[in-house]
Amino acid sequence: MSAMGIGTKRKRKHGRRSRKRQENAVVGATNPEAAAGGNEVRSSVSNVELVTSNSPHLPLNTSDAAVCAPTKPPSLKLQPTRLFPMTSLLSLAVPCFRRLMRRDPNFSLPWQRKRQYSSSSSGFVIQGRRVLTSAHSVQHYTQIKLKKRGSDTKYVATVLAIGVECDVALLTVNDDEFWEGISPVVFGDLPALQDAVTVVGYPIGGDTISVTSGVVSRIEILSYVHGSTELLGLQIDAAVNAGNSGGPAFNDRGICVGIAFQSIKHEDVENIGYVIPTPVIMHFIQDYEKHGMYTGFPVLGFEWQKMENKDLRLSMGMNLDHNGIRIRRIGPASPLFKVLKPSDIILSFDGVDIAEDGTVPFRHGERIGFSYLVSQKYTDDSAEIEVFRNSEHLKFKVDLGTHTRLVPAHNNGKPPSYYIIAGFVFTPVTVPYLRSESIAHSLVLTSLVLYFQYGKEYEYEAPVKLLDKVLHGMPQSVDEQIVVISQVLVADINIGYEDIVNTQVLAFNGQPVKNLKSLVSMVESCTDRYMKFDLEHQQIVVLRTRTAKAATLDILTRHCVPSAMSDDLKT
């Protein structure tokens, strides 16, 4: 999945598709401006603007809404409000222009960051002197400035929280002058199908406010590109272009029903945009208010199978009128590992029956994936799960939490970890690592093409074995990582090993490699004559210990590497 505005989509090279992948879905905040020489790209990633409303402010009801109501999704309870014409809303709106400087991690050279560049995007003011925008617009920021409509004054903003999974970020401005004449936007309930929606922002193509209108065409669990997760989302037929990300989406009464954040760009598709709905937004805000920080969306941490086949249900001892889903696998790192078992049939979640296709009642006769119920909970919340196991009905009260993935979906804004010995660069595999800009090297004699990373089309380009670990890998512990040799910094000591790239390290001197930190500990404390790295595909690397350690400093100096390891490995 490529960021909008960086370039057009490449033709798919393989027939392999990832699970539930939204083809050509792109984060809608990239606004390219210019390119620099070399391997770095200077671009304006997101044209984000803040839109505020001077419409009468309605206090939010912060009481807990029913989380698992089968007929209506949990949403923020609001007092009734008068109709507010869109023309009046726009005339009273006080957009703010945000400018930020950022430096993205360089996964090919993890000891440094990429060249600094600027970006801008949309956003809007909410109660509590806070600003909402999209998370992908502020990641890896170094400075953020906001500018109100009609003013040339820029105000420095502070980031309060970034929700990577839900692609929402919360900002504030300490300068009182910024808040003069600004009233917060009012949130509404989840819209219905065919409800009118208007997206407001400052997309690419001009400097003034832009308004696009359409209707809600779909409400379902969809893939959030930036967070590599699946949450409730709205599909609309209004254009969501580069720079709209973070801007509000209003209904025909001038009430905010979501945040524009991504779209699909394809030659056969027109005007398919996506909006983060208010239940997801309010979960993010209330999570921050409850914990003082963003803690994420809980997940159950298991893979499941539909039970639509009647023979399958009968073989499991179920009656034909029984519903539920079967647990295929559950990893030791799952928060429910000690409670649930493979082949358990999940019948209900918090009293809401789960159908054999994994859906639950939603509203107005609609159905939605049961993960929606889970996503409305908070970290450390409890839930009741009804299970059918060995012809018995069991009920468990479980504590929910976030789930550790074998290949993390993001780096939480932290720089990548790395370790270098004798020119071998070791790093853990993450989705951002796989997505980073691909660098290909061709060997003329063999016509072999090697990739350091697999680019934004990693779901097509990555080897099947590695892709399987991304999609289905389950860690045996919360700190397990897949460690690879990302590249080799050429030197005399590593002659013959130069072509090793993106190859997993399985063991060191006969000891399994649990994570990068354990590998560093074993290498640094090694007193054996030789160091032996067992790699995948039965490949090995053998180095003389004393010579390898002595050569490392010279290699670091020659390649202008400031340290043999990242800061997180020094403690």
> Using DSSP, how many helices (H) and how many strands (E) does the chain show?
10, 32
Q: How far apart are CA 475 and CA 331, in angstroms?
A: 7
CATH ID of 26-51+88-291, from 2.40.30.30, 3.60.21.10, 2.40.10.120, 1.10.260.40 = 2.40.10.120
Asked whether the predicted pLDDT for residue 393 surpasses 80, the reply is yes
Structure pTM? 0.79
> In the prediction, which pLDDT does 369 show?
94
More confident residue, 490 or 402: 490
Asked whether the predicted pLDDT for residue 20 surpasses 70, the reply is no
Catalytic residue, candidates 136, 140, 226, 403: 136
| Angle (CA) 164 166 171, round 5° | 70
Q: Under the phi-then-psi rule, with left for phi > 0, alpha for psi from -120 to 50, and beta for the rest, what region is 226?
A: alpha
Distance of CA 264 to the CA centre of its chain: 17
pLDDT band for position 94 (50/70/90)?
very low
> In the prediction, which pLDDT does 356 show?
95
CATH number attached to the domain at 419-569 = 3.20.190.20
Catalytic residue, candidates 43, 223, 245, 486: 245
Percent of the chain with pLDDT strictly greater than 90 = 48
Q: Which residues pair with 101 in a beta bridge?
A: 118, 143
Mean pLDDT of 53-73: 35
| Angle (CA) 240 246 252, round 5° | 65
Do 156 and 179 meet the contact criterion of CB atoms below 8 Å apart? no
178-187, pLDDT tens digit by residue? 888 888 888 9
147-169, pLDDT tens digit by residue? 877 778 889 999 999 999 999 99
298-348, pLDDT tens digit by residue? 999 999 999 999 999 999 999 888 899 999 999 888 889 999 999 999 999
Other Cβ atoms closer than 10 A to 404:
17
Catalytic residue, candidates 104, 167, 287, 534: 167
Of 129-143, 234-248, 452-466, which gets the smallest average pLDDT? 452-466
Q: How far apart are CA 393 and CA 317, in angstroms?
A: 11
- Say whether 245 is catalytic: yes
Q: Where are the domains of the chain?
A: 26-51+88-291, 302-399, 419-569
In the CATH scheme, what architecture does the domain 302-399 have? Roll (2.30)
Do 500 and 485 meet the contact criterion of CB atoms below 8 Å apart? yes
Mean pLDDT of 369-386: 94
Question: Which of 229, 202, 198 lies closest to 216, judged by CA?
Answer: 198
DSSP 500-549: --SEEEEEETTEE--SHHHHHHHHHT--SSEEEEEEGGG-EEEEEHHHHH
Question: Which of 442, 452, 315, 340 lies closest to 391, judged by CA?
Answer: 315
